[in-house]
Structure 1
Amino acid sequence: MTNSRIYTSQAARRVAATFAAIALFAPAAMAQDDHVLIESDAFTYEPGPGSLAEGAEYQVLYGDPGGKGVFAMRLKLPDGFHIAPHHHGQPEIVTVISGRFRVGMGEEANHDAATALEPGGFFAYPPGMAHYAYADGETVIQLNSTGPWTITYVRDEDDPRTQ
C-alpha cells in the first residue's frame, strides 16, 4: 500500500502546518513509494536553514535533507541575498521558480560574472564544485538532491553557523 499525503485548500492548511512541523523537528526519511501532493498555497516557509545567512526561508517538500535518500526543498531568498562561495558533498540540482537567481562557479564571487537564471532556469553541479549565488529580487528556487545534505564554505568566515 502506498502512503499518501494530500494538501488542499484552506481547511487542510492546518494539516500541512502539522506535517511541516513534524518534518522540521522530527524528520523521518520517506519510503520511495510514498506519495506527496502539495498545492502551491498549502505550505509555508520557515526561517533558515542555519547554513544560510539570516533572511533565507525554506520548506522541505519531500524526504529529509539530514538523512539518507532523495529530498526536495524550496528556498525563498530576499532581494540582494548572497550565498558565498561553497561546495556540497552531494549533487546540487536546482530549478528557479520565481525571481532571478545568479550563479557562478569558482572560489571568488562576482555578481556581474554570474549567470542570471529566470523562472524555469536550471543548473546541476557535481559534488565538490565551488560556486556562489545572488538573488536579484525576491527569488524562490527548488533544490533537489540526496542526503545527508552538506554545505562547506570556501572561507570559514562566510559560514553563518560560525558567527
Structure 2
Amino acid sequence: MLRTAVLMSGLLCLSSPVAAQVNSADLKWGPAPAVFPAGAQMAVLSGDPHKAGVFVVRLKVPAGYKVPAHHHPTDEYVTVISGDLSLGMGDKLDPAKAAKLAAGGFAVAGAKMNHFAFSTEGAVVQVSAEGPFGMTYVNPADDPTRQ
C-alpha cells in the first residue's frame, strides 16, 4: 500500500487511500433501530454501530419528529446535513430549552448527558460516536422497544 508522509506543524502524519467513499445519492437507507421513535430512517456510512469502535451514520427524520430525553454511553457528535434539528439538554423534552440548528450546525452531547431532539421541518443529521451504540431513555415509558 502506498503511503505519503506529510510534515505539518512539526507533526509527521501518514495518509493512506480513502477506506470508504459514498455520495449522498448512493446511501442505502433503512428503518432506524427500534430504539428510535417510529418514522426515522438510517444509513451507515462507516463502522458498525453494534461493535466497539468509531461509527458514522446518517439519520433522516420527518417533520414533527421528536426524540424524548435520553443519553448514550459515549460522546455523540451531531452535524445537521439538511433541514432543522433542535437539541436541548435536560431530563424531559422542553422546546424552550432547545437550540435550533440549521444545515451545517453542530452539537456534542457528552457521554451520559441527558438530551432531547426534535425537528419541525424534517432533517438529515450525521452522527458519529464510539460503539457499541446505546440509548437509554430518562423515562423508560418513552422507550419504543418497551411499548
TM-score by length of 1: 0.78
**Is residue 124 of structure 2 the alignment partner of residue 140 of structure 1?**
yes
Contact 2:88 2:98 in 1 (8 A): yes
Match of 2:12 in 1: none
> Between Structure 1 and Structure 2, whose CA radius of gyration is higher?
2
Deviation at 1:113, TM superposition (A): 2.7
Q: Which amino acid in 2 is paired with 1:120?
A: G
Matched, 1:129 2:116: no
Q: Equivalent residue for 1:48?
A: 32
Q: Distance in 2 between matches of 1:113 and 1:122?
A: 17
Q: Does 1:154 align with 2:100?
A: no
Counterpart residue identity of residue 140, structure 1: V
* Unaligned segments of structure 1, at least 5 residues: 3-32
Q: What is residue 75 of structure 1 aligned with on the other side?
A: 59
Q: Following the alignment from structure 2 to structure 1, what is the Cα–Cα distance between the partners of residues 111 and 41?
A: 23
Report whether the alignment pairs 1:61 with 2:45: yes
The CA deviation at 1:34 is 6.6
State the superposition RMSD in angstroms: 1.6
Aligned equivalents of 1:125, 1:134: Cα separation in 2: 15
Percent of residue pairs bearing the same amino acid type = 38
Q: Is the 8 A contact 2:89 2:97 kept in 1?
A: no
Displacement of 1:70 in angstroms is: 0.6
Deviation string, structure 1 residues 44-79 (Cα, Å, up to 9, x no partner):
310122110110000110000110101000000000
Deviations 1:102-160 (A, max 9, x none): 00100021123310000000011210100000011120000001101100000110000
Name which of 42, 52, 76 aligns with 1:92: 76
- State the TM-score, normalizing by the size of structure 2: 0.86
Q: Which runs of 4+ in 1 moved over 4 A?
A: none
Alpha-carbon distance between aligned partners in 2 of 1:48 and 1:147, rounded to the nearest angstrom: 16
The runs of 5 or more residues in structure 2 that have no matched partner are 3-16
Q: Which amino acid aligns with 2:41?
A: E
Q: Going by fraction, where is helix more abundant, 1 or 2?
A: 1
